[in-house]
Structure 1
Amino acid sequence: MRHEEKNNGQVKNKEKKKMSKKKKVLISISIILLLILVSAGVFYFYVRGKIYQQNPGASQDVTYEEQPGITNILLIGTDARKLDEAARADAIIIATIDNNHKKLKLTSIMRDTLAKIPEHGEQKINAALAYGGPDLLMKTINENFNLNLNKYVMVNFGGFKEIIDEVGGIEVDIHDYEIPELNKYIGEYEKVKSPKITETGMQKLDGQQALAYARIRKVGNGDYERTERQRRVIDLVTQKFKDLSPLKYPSVMSSLLPYIKTNIEPFMMLNYAYTASKFPSLTFEQLRVPFSDEISWGGLYKNKGWVLIIDKEQNAKIMRDFIFDDKKPDANSYSVKEWKEKLASYLNENNEHIKENGPLKEYDDDYIPPATSSKNENNTQNSIQNNTQNKKPVTNTPPKDTPTKPTEPEKPTKPVEPVEPEKPTKPVEPVEPEKPSKPGNGESTENEENTQGSTDKPQNNQQQDKAHRR
């Protein structure tokens, strides 16, 4: 009996270990998913308070490291139905875990911002995702704003809806001018189940309604308010996770996995979460780029459609001051005069484009522009480099071509000018022998012979003339 009890005890211990491992996996994966919303710190904080208290032994064999300094993670929202298909970024947000100042931060970059995309020239910054995925988008942001992003989490619309439905929806204050656009986006999705919004004020939105709310664009202050809505939704979802029952974690995990892509290792995600969980406040400080419409201009530009041209140098400084030095920007953080000088050159180029190509066109939101001349220039440079690399076989061909250069001896065809010997037709002047006809005064026979000879010679001369003419 004791032996059986001992075996049963060992089985139970093994089961506990298996369960603890499963919980660890659930926690790590869940944190990865929730970092999409920059709520890893919040989630981890509550997981430790709820899960680990129920099973204190679960965390004994795992240690977490507080991450020093500042960690930036690019959060990407895409309108693609599948994560691997080419599509533009609909939301571009930098999540910052600032352990220097013990703060969480969100910095959103407006998707229509005109930026230089490596090998694609100037395009809307959200097109970088369509051209080269998250890596190219990070590279574009780094080169335009002097950053060093190397971590990302990407979620598509399906995941966005699932996240909000899993937390039971969010409550949002709806304005009257937002309702038509909100309902328009609700109606865009297949198999629509969510009802349309009919009233203003605080409304509880499900996943589909909340997604439509975050996509509202062409009302109020346009894309400026759009990015504010996106950050508001993230903040509301984060707060909802505080009250999420641990029993919901498995369903959250299974629901979100198909909609998420990241290059961050699970254990590192736990370390980031552990770092954030120690902050005194788990609310987010927020920044929008461009910071002010006084250092940006929106309108139709060349063949790019509607774009937002910003002072990248000034906005990059504002962004870096906010992320790294915890400085909140104000009206003294930028120079309008400096921006107007830069904008003038953009507008001059735009006017020249109109003169050469006619009126400007506006494109649909899902339009992905083709490669630009800058890429073609790079292609030509590449082809030149390829030619230089193949120079060795090319050096063999010149010797074959060089003998053809002796075709220059064709110039010695001038000796062909000896056609001038036609001038020696003067010897034909020996027709003068006709003068000997003078002795024919008394000799009729000689006259006859001479006349016969004379008649023959001119014929020969005519034949010679014809021959020479030929």
Structure 2
Amino acid sequence: MTGVNELMGQDHEPAARKPRKRRPVVVVIVSLLVLVAVAGAIAFGYLFSLMNSFESKAQRIESVFPSGAARPETSDANKDALNFLLIGSDVRGGSGETEDLPSVPNGGRSDTMMLVNIPGDRSSINVMSVMRDTWVEIPGQGSHKINAALAFGGIPLLVETLEGMFEVPIDHVAIIDFEGFQSLTDALGGVTVNNPRAFTSTGSQGEHFPAGPVLLDGESALKFVRERKQFSDGDYSRVANQQLFLKSLMSSFLTPDTLLNPGRISTIVDEFSPYVSVDEGLGGAEIGQLAVGLRDVRSGDVHAFTLPNRGVGRSADGQSIVVNDPEAVGAIGEALRDDALTAYVVENGIGN
């Protein structure tokens, strides 16, 4: 399997050797974790079967962690917490601007990144989106949009950049693909979102999404999470819609119709396991153990938010950027190190 160090980025020349195309990866690994947790609550043997399915079908990402660089260490406070880096992949370029986005191993594009924190007590899940244009210090490269880390050094440099910002280790990396929303949404019979603002997606197959509750099928879900051009704040609303859809997706399968139907769970897990790409250290046994720990988590325990920032601005060389907020980064880093991010999010009212 080709490594990921050949990633391309905004305003940079393509790598000399193109990564070998792979099958598209599917949706968010958090969904897999919660589904399998439910299966684990039903029967250990069933959980073991699903873990074997994941182990045999999931794809692996090589070389995701920085080498030769000092990495943050865990402390007694956060030794049981886990942090996942989720990188968004979209073979059709969800932002509509595929030419300036980094390529990922499956031949798609990356314009979304999320840091998922699972506290040591496994009582909740925190999903923090990081705006791709956030202006940060990239180790060895100076100040750039955080997305440029992929261009300069692939996933290892992005991991190093985020670890340097928050001073906590990233334990695992996964690549997700918004194309996967389609199959998972359809498998659930549709997902209802409470759309905060009416809009019509762009393109020849544009679709109108009225304000209020909207039932999305798979194709509509893709349009919903990809759209950005119809919003005056661009990426801000797009990221908010992605978070909204993720929460609604979880709410859809955390229902008796799914939880009490082992066959349905098995079908969903088995269908998208081949499309999940994770680092080599995340195997079926590790996911099974984590899933059992998360068996009591429900949609209300999932907190999705965007890393607070100081709005849109201009870099010294004239680029449109998202201005980083060092105070917010410092506070969230401290909460992560204390294994208290859930309390921080709830107390500051930044999660949804």
TM-score over 0.5 (shorter chain): yes
Q: How far off its partner does 1:88 sit?
A: 5.4
Residues 1:105 and 2:126 aligned together: yes
Q: How far off its partner does 1:33 sit?
A: 6.8
The aligned amino acid for 1:307 is: I
CA contact (8 A) 1:95 1:105 kept: yes
Cross-structure match for 2:188: 167
Cross-structure match for 1:306: 320
Mapped to 1, the partners of 2:48 and 2:144 lie a distance apart of 53
Cross-structure match for 2:340: 325
Mapped to 1, the partners of 2:134 and 2:284 lie a distance apart of 32
Cross-structure match for 1:179: 199
SS of 1:277's equivalent?
A: coil
Structure with a larger share of its residues in helix? 1
Cross-structure match for 1:48: 40
The alpha-carbon distance between structure 1 residues 236 and 153, as it changes in their structure 2 partners (threshold 3 A), is same
SS of 2:321's equivalent?
A: strand
Mapped to 1, the partners of 2:244 and 2:297 lie a distance apart of 21
The alpha-carbon distance between structure 1 residues 94 and 300, as it changes in their structure 2 partners (threshold 3 A), is same
Cross-structure match for 1:412: none
The alpha-carbon distance between structure 1 residues 303 and 288, as it changes in their structure 2 partners (threshold 3 A), is same
Cross-structure match for 2:304: 286
Matches within 5 A, 1:3-152: 36-50=28-42, 52=43, 69-80=80-91, 83-84=104-105, 89-100=110-121, 102-152=123-173
Mapped to 2, the partners of 1:138 and 1:249 lie a distance apart of 32
CA contact (8 A) 1:37 1:238 kept: no
Cross-structure match for 1:64: none
The aligned amino acid for 1:196 is: E
Structure with a larger share of its residues in strand? 2
Mapped to 2, the partners of 1:270 and 1:86 lie a distance apart of 29
Q: How many percent identity over aligned positions?
A: 24
The alpha-carbon distance between structure 1 residues 115 and 254, as it changes in their structure 2 partners (threshold 3 A), is same
SS of 1:152's equivalent?
A: strand
Structure ID, larger Rg: 1
CA contact (8 A) 2:83 2:170 kept: yes
- Cα offsets for 1:44-65 (capped at 9, x unmatched): 3321344x28979979xxxxxx
Using the size of structure 2 for normalisation, the TM-score is 0.66
CA contact (8 A) 2:85 2:172 kept: yes
Mapped to 2, the partners of 1:83 and 1:258 lie a distance apart of 17
CA contact (8 A) 1:171 1:202 kept: yes
Q: Give the unaligned 5+ runs of structure 1.
A: 1-31, 60-66, 334-470
Matches within 5 A, 1:248-263: 248-249=264-265, 251-253=267-269, 255-257=271-273, 259-263=275-279
Q: How far off its partner does 1:304 sit?
A: 6.2
The alpha-carbon distance between structure 1 residues 206 and 167, as it changes in their structure 2 partners (threshold 3 A), is same
Cross-structure match for 1:392: none
The aligned amino acid for 1:206 is: D
The alpha-carbon distance between structure 1 residues 45 and 297, as it changes in their structure 2 partners (threshold 3 A), is closer
CA contact (8 A) 1:89 1:111 kept: no
The alpha-carbon distance between structure 1 residues 55 and 47, as it changes in their structure 2 partners (threshold 3 A), is closer
CA contact (8 A) 2:312 2:323 kept: yes
- Cα offsets for 1:95-154 (capped at 9, x unmatched): 121124732211221121012233443222123234443322211211233221131111
SS of 2:294's equivalent?
A: helix
Matches within 5 A, 1:180-329: 180=200, 183-184=201-202, 187=204, 196-197=207-208, 199-218=210-229, 219=231, 221-242=233-254, 243-244=257-258, 245-249=261-265, 251-253=267-269, 255-257=271-273, 259-263=275-279, 264-278=282-296, 283-290=301-308, 296-303=310-317, 305-312=319-326, 314-323=327-336, 324-326=339-341, 327-328=343-344
Q: Give the unaligned 5+ runs of structure 2.
A: 1-24, 51-77, 93-102
Mapped to 2, the partners of 1:332 and 1:198 lie a distance apart of 30
Mapped to 2, the partners of 1:171 and 1:207 lie a distance apart of 11
CA contact (8 A) 2:40 2:46 kept: no
The aligned amino acid for 2:222 is: L
The alignment of Structure 1 onto Structure 2 pairs a total of residues equal to 278
Mapped to 2, the partners of 1:213 and 1:309 lie a distance apart of 26
CA contact (8 A) 1:299 1:308 kept: yes
The alpha-carbon distance between structure 1 residues 147 and 289, as it changes in their structure 2 partners (threshold 3 A), is same
CA contact (8 A) 2:130 2:306 kept: yes
SS of 2:344's equivalent?
A: coil
The aligned amino acid for 2:199 is: I
SS of 1:39's equivalent?
A: helix
Mapped to 2, the partners of 1:220 and 1:228 lie a distance apart of 13
SS of 2:34's equivalent?
A: helix
Task: Compare relative contact order (CA 8 Å, sep 6+) and give the higher one, 1 or 2.
Answer: 2
CA contact (8 A) 1:88 1:130 kept: no
- Cα offsets for 1:162-208 (capped at 9, x unmatched): 332222221122355x413xx216x4xxxx6xx72264321111223
Mapped to 1, the partners of 2:276 and 2:123 lie a distance apart of 27
Q: How far off its partner does 1:289 sit?
A: 0.9
The alpha-carbon distance between structure 1 residues 199 and 102, as it changes in their structure 2 partners (threshold 3 A), is closer
- Cα offsets for 1:10-40 (capped at 9, x unmatched): xxxxxxxxxxxxxxxxxxxxxx977x24235
Matches within 5 A, 1:432-447: none
The aligned amino acid for 2:38 is: Y
RMSD: 3.7
CA contact (8 A) 1:40 1:276 kept: no
Q: How far off its partner does 1:216 sit?
A: 3.2
Q: How far off its partner does 1:41 sit?
A: 4.8
